[in-house]
A = this chain, B = another copy of it.
Amino acid sequence: RKRILITGGAGFVGSHLTDKLMMDGHEVTVVDNFFTGRKRNVEHWLGHENFELINHDVVEPLYIEVDQIYHLASPASPPNYMYNPIKTIKTNTIGTLNMLGLAKRVGARLLLASTSEVYGDPEVHPQNEEYWGHVNPIGPRACYDEGKRVAETMCYAYMKQEGVEVRVARIFNTFGSRMHMNDGRVVSNFILQALQGEPLTVRATNHPLQDFIFFFPIVCTLLVKYTALKMYCNISSPVNLGNPEEHTILKFAQLIKSLVVSRSQIQFLPEAQDDPQRRKPDIRKAKMMLAWEPVVPLEEGLKKTIQYFSRELEHQA
C-alpha cells in the first residue's frame, strides 16, 4: 500500500488511473487545476478515506509526502494545448521541474506521461524508443512536443544527477470513456459527429497515393494497466505504450459510423500544419517488459465510448 500522487488525475487518463490504483487499495492524492479535467471524473471517490483531491496548479510548488508520483498534468489534445501555448509550456517545464523537485525531496519514484509527439512527424516506421524524432521546434505544435521532450530531458537529468527514480511512458493516441467531448481529438470528434448526424471530418494528407494517415488508438483501460506496470518495472528508459494496429483514418470513420448506426456523411478536410502523416509504435520493448497482450478490444472499447458519449449528450440536454 503506497501513498500515490496523480497530477492531472481529474482528466481522462488520470481518472481511470485513479480508479485502478484506488481499487488496488492505495492512498491516492489527485492534484488538478481543472483546466481540461473535471471533478465529475473522480467524484465517486470523494469522501473515501484513501482519497484526496487538491485543486492546485503544478506550475506552483507543491509540498506533500508521497511514495510515487504519476505526473500526467498537461493539456493533451491539439485544440487544448494550442489554446494557451505559453501555459502549456509552463506546465510541461516548470510543472515537471516542481514534481521532480518533490520526488527528489521525498524519495518518490516519478512516472512521466510522455507522448508519441516526441517523435513529431516521424520519418521512420514503426517508431522504436531509440528514434530521435522529427519535431518542428517553432511550429504550432511545439508548445506540447518540445515541452514533453524537455520534460523527458529533465527526468533523466534528475535521475543521473540526483538519483531520482524515473519512468517514462511514451503514450500513443488513446480513447475511452471520460474523454472530453469537445477536446477535438479524432475519436471524440467522430463519435460526437456520428451521434449528432453531422459530417465526420476526415483530414486528407498531401500524399496523393497514401490517401489518409494510418492510425489506431489504444483503449484507455489497457493503457492504464500498462502504465501501472511500467511504474513497477525495473527499466527507467522510455517505453512506448500504444496500439501498433494500422488502419486509415477513413476506415476508422466508417467503423464509428457503422457502430453508431449513423446517417452522417464523411467530409474531407485539408491537413493541419505539421500534422503527423503516420504514427505506429514499435511495442517490442513493452511486450518484453510488461508482458504485453496484443489483444486489442477495439470495437468493444469503441462501443463503450459511444455509450458514454450518448449518456453525456443526454445529461447535457
State whether A153 and B137 are in contact (beta carbons under 8 Å apart), knowing that A97-B90, A97-B94 are contacts in the complex.
yes
A157 contacts B89, C-beta separation under 8 Å: yes
A86 contacts B158, C-beta separation under 8 Å: yes
B153 contacts A146, C-beta separation under 8 Å: yes
State whether A142 and B153 are in contact (beta carbons under 8 Å apart), knowing that A90-B97, A93-B93, A97-B94 are contacts in the complex.
yes
A118 to B137, CA, bound (A): 8
A132: interface (CB < 8 Å): yes
> Which B residues lie within 8 Å of A150 (CB)?
89, 93, 137, 146-147, 149-150
A136: interface (CB < 8 Å): yes
Q: Report the minimum CB–CB distance from A310 to chain B (whole Å).
A: 37
B162 contacts A86, C-beta separation under 8 Å: yes
B132 contacts A132, C-beta separation under 8 Å: no
A135 contacts B136, C-beta separation under 8 Å: no
A94 to B98, CA, bound (A): 12
A147 contacts B153, C-beta separation under 8 Å: yes
A32 to B149, CA, bound (A): 28
A161 to B85, CA, bound (A): 8
A84: interface (CB < 8 Å): yes
> Which B residues lie within 8 Å of A132 (CB)?
120, 134-137
Most B CB contacts (10 A, CB to CB) among A89, A132, A158, A237 go to A132
A61 to B143, CA, bound (A): 22
B146 contacts A149, C-beta separation under 8 Å: yes
Tell me the nearest residue of chain B to A155, going by C-beta. B138
Tell me the nearest residue of chain B to A143, going by C-beta. B157
4 further A-B contacts with Cβ under 8 Å, apart from A89-B97, A137-B152, A147-B150, are A86-B158, A86-B161, A138-B153, A149-B149
Chain A positions near chain B (C-beta within 8 angstroms): 84-86, 89-90, 93-94, 97, 118, 120, 132-138, 142-143, 146-147, 149-150, 152-154, 156-158, 160-162, 237-238
Please list 18 pairs of residues, one from A and one from B, whose beta carbons are closer than 8 Å in the complex, sorted by A's number.
A85-B161, A86-B154, A86-B157, A86-B158, A89-B150, A89-B153, A90-B97, A118-B137, A132-B135, A133-B135, A133-B137, A137-B150, A137-B152, A142-B156, A142-B157, A143-B157, A146-B149, A147-B150
The 10 lowest CB-CB distance pairs between A and B, nearest first, are A85-B157, A93-B93, A142-B153, A137-B149, A146-B153, A150-B150, A146-B150, A138-B156, A86-B157, A132-B136
